[in-house]
Amino acid sequence: MTIRIEYERELAELRDGVVSMSSMVDKAIARSIDSFRQQDVETARQVHESDYKINEQRWKLEDQALTIIATQAPMASDLRWIAACLHIITDLERMADHAAGIAKIVLETAEEPLLKPLVDIPRMADLGRAMLADSISAFIQQDAEAAREIVGRDDEVDNLYNQVYHELLMFMMADPRTIARATRLLWAAHNLERIADRTTNICEQVVYAVEGRITELNVSDY
Amino acid sequence: MVNAQILGGREGADMASSEPESIVSLRDLNVHYGSFLAVRDVNLEVPPRQITALIGPSGCGKSTVLRCVNRMNDLIPAAKVTGSIIYHGIDVNSRAVDPVEVRRRVGMVFQKPNPFPKSIYDNIAWGAKINGIKENRDDLVERCLRGAALWDEVKDKLKESGMALSGGQQQRLCIARTLAINPDVILMDEPCSALDPISTLKIEDLMRTLVEEYTIIIVTHNMQQAARVSDQTVFFSLDTNRTGVMVETGATRQMFTNPQDSRTEDYITGRFG
C-alpha cells in the first residue's frame, strides 16, 4: 500500500512523459528516413520542425524531474530511476537531433537524385527504432536483462554501417564525381549508427536504475 | 567499579598508538521493558570519529539502543539490557562499571534543548566543576563554546541566562556543556527535531566539525539529515511482535542510493506500510 499518493502521481507523470517523448523521437526517425528515401522536402521540413517540440518536451521533463528531487527528496531506487530519466531524455533529444540531421540533408540536396537505391540504410533505421522501442520498454518494465540483450544488437547496426561505408568508398574510388552524393548517404548512415549507440546509453541507465550499478555495456573494440 | 583511566575517554584514546576499528561495539544486545522485548539481537560496530545515524520508524528501538551506550536505560526501572556494550575494550554493560563514569565518557544531547537555569558561563563550568575537571574555567568555557560554534554569538553575554538563548543556540549550549566533560563519544537523540531549518543546518555543520575529534551516534527521524551528516547509517525496523530489529547497516551513501534490503528500500522511499 503506497502512502505517498502525490509522489507516485508525479513519478507516473514523468514516466508517461518519457514514453511520449520516445514516441516523438521514433516518429522523427521513421519520417526522416522516409523523406530521405523519397527525397521528400515537405516531410523533411516537418521532421526538422518536430525537433523543436522534442527539445521542449525534454526541458519540460527535466523540469519535472528536478522538481520531484527538490520537493519529494526521492531516495534509493526512486532516486536512481529519476537520475536515469534525466540521462534518457538527454539521449532521446540527441537522437532527435540525428533524425533532424538526416532531414537537413534532404532539405539541402533534394534536387539531386540519390546515388543508389537505399537498402542497408532503411535496415539500420528499422534496427535502431526497434532498439529504441525495446530499451524504453525495458526501462518501464525495469528489466535489466532485457536491456543487456538490446545492447548486443548494436553490433548489427555497426556492421551495416561498415557495409555502407565500404560500398560508398567503392563508388567514390570508381568515380570521384560521386563523392558529394556518396558523402550525403554516409552522413545519413552515420546519424543512424549514432542513434543505435544512444539506445545503448538508455540500456545502461536501465541497468543503473534497476541494479544500482553504473556499467558500460557497449565496450568499443578500439 | 571501573575507573576513568581504564575506560579511556579522550585521554585514553589519545594514548592509543593506532585507531581501533570500533570505539563502541554492541553485541547480541537485547532490551526488555518488563516482559516486552523492545529490541532484539543488535550487533553493531561504531567506527571512531565518524557519525553513525540510527534511523527507522517510531517504536523500532533506535533511541533505546542509543541510551544503552551510556547506560541511560539504567534510569528506567523496568528496563533490562542484556548482551555486551564494548567501549574501549570494556563491557560497560557490566555491573562492575559505574554508569556515572560511562556517562562522563559518553556524552548525550537530547531532543529538546535543556540548559540549566543558570548563566551561559555556568552551564559549562558547572558540569566541569562537579566532574573535577581542573582546566582553567575561563579557558574551558571559551574552548567549549568555540567547539560548539557558539562563542562569537555569546562571548559578550556569558553572565546572561542560558534560557534566554534561541532554541538553536540553547542546543549548541548543551553540546558545549557536553564537550566540557571531555567525552569521546557523543550521543544525539533527535537533536534538531525542535529546531528551525537554519538552526538545524548549524547543528549539522557543527556535527561535521566535531566528528574530527569525537565519535557521534545520532538518532534521527529526518532521513535527509541522516543522508547529509552521517558516514554510516543503521536501519531498524519492527518484527511481527513489534520488537525492534536491526535490518541493515552500511555506508550512508550506499544506504540512500542502493540499499540491499527491501525493508530499507521501502522505508527510505516512503513506501513503508
At B230-249, the pLDDT tens digits run: 999 999 999 999 999 999 99
How close is the nearest chain A Cα to the Cα of B57, in Å?
Answer: 14
CA B24 – CA B52 distance, rounded (Å): 11
Give percent above pLDDT 70 in chain B. Answer: 92
Average pLDDT, chain A: 95
Predicted local distance difference test score (pLDDT) of residue B15: 40
B262: confidence class by pLDDT, cuts 50, 70, 90: very high
The pLDDT, as a whole number, for residue A222 is 55
Are A76 and B256 a contacting pair at CB < 8 A? yes
What is the count of residue pairs from A and B with beta carbons less than 8 Å apart? 37
**What part of A 61-100 touches B (C-beta under 8 Å)?**
73-80
Contact call for B270 and A1, based on CB within 8 A: no
Q: Look up the pTM and report it.
A: 0.83
For residue B224, the distance in angstroms to the closest alpha carbon of chain A comes to 8
Q: What is the pLDDT of residues B180-195, one digit of tens each?
A: 999 999 999 999 998 8
User: Which of B41, B43, B38, B84 has the alpha carbon at shortest distance from B64?
Assistant: B38
Q: Nearest CA to B161 among B195, B127, B126, B118?
A: B118
B198-210 burial, b at 16+ Cβ within 10 Å, e below that, comes to ebbbbbbebbeeb
Residue B80, pLDDT > 60, answer: yes
Compute the average pLDDT of residues A143-164: 97
Task: Assess B268–A contact: CB distance below 8 Å, yes or no.
Answer: yes
**Do the Cβ atoms of B269 and A74 come within 8 Å?**
yes
Q: How confident is the model at residue A141 (pLDDT cuts 50, 70, 90)?
A: very high
Mean pLDDT of A18-41: 97
Of A3, A75, A78, the CB nearest to B273: A3
Residue A115 scores a pLDDT above 50: yes
A72 or B17, which is more confident? A72
* pLDDT tens, position by position, B107-162: 999 999 999 999 999 999 998 888 888 889 999 999 999 999 999 999 999 999 99
- The predicted pLDDT at position B20 comes to 60
Q: Which of residues 195-224 of B touch A (CB under 8 A)?
A: 223-224
Sort B221 into a burial class: Cβ within 10 Å, 0-12 / 13-18 / 19+.
middle
pLDDT higher than 60, residue A97: yes
Question: Residue B13 pLDDT > 50, yes or no?
Answer: no
**B14-to-B8, B209, B214 alpha-carbon distances in Å:** 9, 18, 12
Let me know: does A203 contact A151? Beta carbons within 8 Å.
Answer: yes
